[in-house]
Structure 1
Amino acid sequence: MDTSTATSLWDELTGSQPDPDLWVVVATLAAAAAVVVPHSVWRIARNTITIAHEGGHGLVALLTGRRLTGIRLHSDTSGLTVSRGKPHGLGMILTAAAGYTAPPLLGLGGAALLGAGRITLLLWVATAMLIAMLVMIRNAYGVLTVFLTGGLFLLVSWLAGPQVQAAFAYAVVWFLLLGGVRPAFELQAKRSRGGAGDSDADQLARLTHLPAGVWLFLFHTVSLCSLIGGGRWLLGV
Structure 2
Amino acid sequence: MSIDGLSELWGRLFGAQPDPPALLVLVTGLVALGVVLTRVPWRIGRNAITIAHEGGHALVALLTGRRLQGIRLHSDTSGLTVSAGKPTGPGMVLTLLAGYLAPSLIGLAGAWLLGGNRITLLLWVAVALLLAMLVMIRNVYGIVSIVVTTAVVLGVSWKASPQVQAAFAYTGVWFLLLGGVRPVGEMQTQRRRGQLSQSDADQLAWLTGVPGLVWVGFFGVVNLIVLLAGAALLAGPILNGVSLPG
* TM-score bucket (shorter structure): over 0.9
Aligned residue for 2:194, secondary structure, equals: coil
- Between the aligned partners of 1:112 and 1:193, the Cα distance in structure 2 is 38
Aligned to 2:144: 144
2:134 paired with 1:124: no
Aligned to 1:196: 196
2:153 paired with 1:153: yes
The 5 Å alignment of 1:99-118 reads 99-118=99-118
Aligned residue for 1:231, secondary structure, equals: helix
Aligned to 2:57: 57
Deviation at 1:195, TM superposition (A): 2.1
Deviation at 1:233, TM superposition (A): 0.6
Aligned to 2:92: 92
The structure 1 segments of at least 4 consecutive aligned residues displaced by more than 2 Å after TM superposition are none
Aligned to 1:71: 71
Matched length? 237
Aligned residue for 1:83, secondary structure, equals: strand
- Between the aligned partners of 1:53 and 1:97, the Cα distance in structure 2 is 10
> What amino acid maps onto 2:51 in structure 1?
I
> What amino acid maps onto 1:196 in structure 2?
L
Q: Report the more deviating stretch, 73-82 or 216-225.
A: 216-225
Larger-Rg structure:
2
Deviation at 1:120, TM superposition (A): 1.0
Aligned residue for 1:70, secondary structure, equals: strand
Deviation at 1:152, TM superposition (A): 0.4
> What amino acid maps onto 2:225 in structure 1?
C
- Between the aligned partners of 2:76 and 2:166, the Cα distance in structure 1 is 31
- Between the aligned partners of 1:61 and 1:75, the Cα distance in structure 2 is 24
The 5 Å alignment of 1:162-201 reads 162-201=162-201
Aligned residue for 1:49, secondary structure, equals: helix
Aligned to 1:38: 38
Deviation at 1:54, TM superposition (A): 0.3
- Between the aligned partners of 1:20 and 1:14, the Cα distance in structure 2 is 17
Q: Is the contact between residue 67 and residue 85 of structure 1 (CA under 8 Å) also seen in structure 2?
A: yes
- Between the aligned partners of 1:65 and 1:12, the Cα distance in structure 2 is 36
Aligned residue for 1:71, secondary structure, equals: strand
Aligned residue for 2:11, secondary structure, equals: helix
Q: Percent identity?
A: 61
- Between the aligned partners of 1:101 and 1:72, the Cα distance in structure 2 is 19
> What amino acid maps onto 1:18 in structure 2?
P
Q: Is the contact between residue 105 and residue 222 of structure 1 (CA under 8 Å) also seen in structure 2?
A: no
CA RMSD of aligned residues (A): 0.8
The 5 Å alignment of 1:208-227 reads 208-227=208-227
2:16 paired with 1:22: no
Aligned to 2:7: 7
**1:115-164 Cα shifts (integer Å, max 9, x gaps):** 11111110010010001101110000000011100110000011001111
- Between the aligned partners of 1:222 and 1:173, the Cα distance in structure 2 is 17
